[in-house]
Structure 1
């Protein structure tokens, strides 16, 4: 995951941040507003580490899963749907319900 994903969806990461660093304060996170340097400094102070150590901890945290609020973002979804168009047969619309094409029916 790249930092710009976090910066663009900063509030969606609050829960994930507080899961990783339970002592993180939401008001402080509001002030950071996605600024990577400020976040590193904040985590360093919060965990009483050197900024380099805090940065490594954050990099490790970034390898985790995206919060569902980010994954389910309409912009992200629309982009994913548009990319899937190359797998849709001619005459089908990538935005149509799959059930219409008969591949989601239950076997009797």
Structure 2
């Protein structure tokens, strides 16, 4: 994942942050509000590490999956749909209902 995913969906990452760093406090995460430098400094203080070591630990954590709260966010869906436009034929709208394809019918 990229930092902009984290920054744009900061509160959705609280659970993942606390899973990785159980000592993390949500009130302090509120104050950080997605600021990458503040987060690195916070994790360094929390884990009693040097900034470089904390930064590396965070980068390792960022190699993981996006939390489901972020993936399921309607804004994320809209972004994914707009990216899919390159696969939709000319003259079609990527936001159109796909019921005509038959996959919305109930058995």
Shorter-chain TM-score range: 0.7 to 0.9
- The 5 Å alignment of 1:1-108 reads 1-89=1-89, 93-103=93-103
RCO greater where, 1 or 2, for CA within 8 Å and sep 6 or more?
2
Cα RMSD for the two superposed structures: 2.2
Query: C-alpha distance in 2, partners of 1:34/1:92?
Result: 37
- When normalised by structure 1's length, the TM-score is 0.82
Greater C-alpha Rg: 1
Gaps of 5+ in 2: none
Query: C-alpha distance in 2, partners of 1:104/1:30?
Result: 41
Shift of 1:75: 2.1
- When normalised by structure 2's length, the TM-score is 0.83
Gaps of 5+ in 1: none
**90 and 2 in structure 1: CA distance in 2 versus 1, 3 angstrom threshold:** closer
Query: C-alpha distance in 2, partners of 1:38/1:91?
Result: 46
Query: C-alpha distance in 2, partners of 1:22/1:39?
Result: 15
